[in-house]
Amino acid sequence: MSRRAILIISLVVAVLALGGLVLHQKSRAPKFLTAPLPGTVYMEDMTWVELREAIRTGYTTVIVPTGGTEQNGPHGVLGKHNFIVRQAAGEIAAKLGKTVVAPVIKYVPEGDIDSREGHMAFPGTLSVPEEVFAAVLEATARSLKAHGFKLIAFIGDSSGNQAAQRHVADKLTQDWLADGVRVVHVERYYDAEQNGGMAYLLRQGESRESIGRHMGIRDTSELMAVYPEGVRRDRLEQAVGSYHEPTGVDGDPTRATAARGRKLLDLKVAAAVEDIAKVRKDMQ
C-alpha cells in the first residue's frame, strides 16, 4: 500500500473517531446540565435546567398571574394584588399537579395617567395602557408556548385585568388550534359573585356596603391572610370612607380578619382549580 493511501486511511479513521466522540458527547449532557424536578412550583425560583426537566416530565400547564401596583387605602401596601395572586397561584398549581407558575405581571391598567383618573389619583399607582398590557400578555404566552407549555392560564387579581386577559386568551386559542395549545382566562377566580366569596360574607351578616368594592373586607382580609405585614392595623379606622373621598377605600376594612381572608382565598383557589382542570380534561 502506498504511503499516500496509508495517509488517506489514517485521516478517515481520525475523522470517524472524532465524529464518534462528538456524538458521544452530545448524547451525554454534562452533569451540570441535568437536574431533578424542582422543589417549587414558581418558575422564577427554578433554573432553566430544572424547568426543562419539569416540562419534559409533563408539567405543561402554566399559570400566568397578574396583579397590579395601586393605591390600597391608608392601611394596605401598594403591592397587595401581587402578594395575594402569587400565593393563590402557587396553591392552585399544587392542587392541579403538573403545573408551574410564571412570575406575576405587576404592571396593569390602573386608570388614565394624564387625567389621573381611578387609582391614578393616588401616589404610588403605576398604570399602563390596555393595549400595552394585552401585548405583554400575548408575548408572555408566546414565550411559554415556545418552551413547550400546552395550557396557559391567565389569573388576574384585579378587575382592570380581566378584559384584556379574556381577549388575548380567546385570540391565541383560535390562532393555536392546530398546535393543540390552549390559553384560558380563569374568570371565576376573581369574580366573588361566581366563586362564592360574596355569598360567604353575606352569610356572615355583612352587607354589600360593608364588604365594598376596593380594600374593604375582602381585599383587606385576603392581604391579612397571605401577608399580614402589608396591613397597617393602626390605620384601619382612618380607612373607613369611600373610594373617591378621600381614602381610596370602598367598604369597611375594620371588619376584616385573616380567618375571613383564608376562607375567601380557598373559594378563589377552588374555583380556579375546577375551571382549569375542566379545560385540561377537555384537551386529553
- Domain range holding 5? 1-34
- Based on the fold, state whether residues 222 and 110 are members of the same structural domain: yes
Closest CA to 41 of 106, 81, 93, 115: 93
Residue 240's pLDDT is 75
With H, G, I as helix, E, B as strand and everything else as coil, classify residue 37. coil
How many C-beta atoms lie closer than 10 Å to residue 175's C-beta?
14
Q: Which cell is 248 given? A: 381610596
Which residues in the chain come in under a pLDDT of 50?
A: 4-27
Q: Do 3 and 75 fall within a single domain? A: no
- For strands 99-101 and 61-66, give the pairing: parallel
Q: How is residue 272 written as a grid cell?
A: 380556579
Rounded Cα–Cα distance for residues 61 and 275 (Å): 13
Same domain, residue pair 44 and 30: no
Report the domain count for the chain. Answer: 2
CATH code, 143: 3.40.50.10310
Q: Are residues 163 and 101 in the same domain?
A: yes
Q: What is the largest CA-CA distance in the chain?
A: 102
Q: Bridge partners of 283?
A: none
Q: Based on the domain organization, do 97 and 205 belong to the same domain? A: yes
pLDDT, position 8: 40
The amino acid occupying position 104 is V
Q: Report CA-CA distances (Å) from 201 to 86, 136, 209.
A: 23, 35, 11
Q: How high is the pLDDT of residue 27?
A: 42
Instruction: Kindly state whether residues 8 and 62 are assigned to the same domain.
Output: no
**Per-residue confidence (pLDDT) for residue 117, from 0 to 100:** 87
User: What long-range pairs does 36-42 form, CB within 8 A, spacing at least 24?
Assistant: 41/90, 41/93, 41/94, 41/99, 41/100, 41/101, 42/86, 42/90, 42/100, 42/101, 42/103
Q: Which three cell numbers stand for residue 283?
A: 384537551
Closest CA to 67 of 103, 104, 33: 104
In total, the chain counts a number of residues equal to: 284
Where b means 16+ CB within 10 Å and e means fewer, 65-98 reads bbbbbbbbbbbbbbbbbbbbbbbbbbbbbeebee
Note whether 22 and 144 are same-domain residues.
Answer: no
Q: For the segment 214-223, what is each residue's pLDDT rounded down to a tens digit? A: 999 999 999 9
pTM higher than 0.85 for the full model? Answer: yes
Angle separating helix axes 80-96 and 217-226, nearest 10 degrees: 70
212 vs 144: CA distance, rounded Å: 36
Please report the pLDDT score of residue 30 as a whole number: 57
- DSSP state at residue 103: P
For residues 236 and 208, membership in a common domain is answered with yes
Based on the fold, state whether residues 97 and 224 are members of the same structural domain: yes
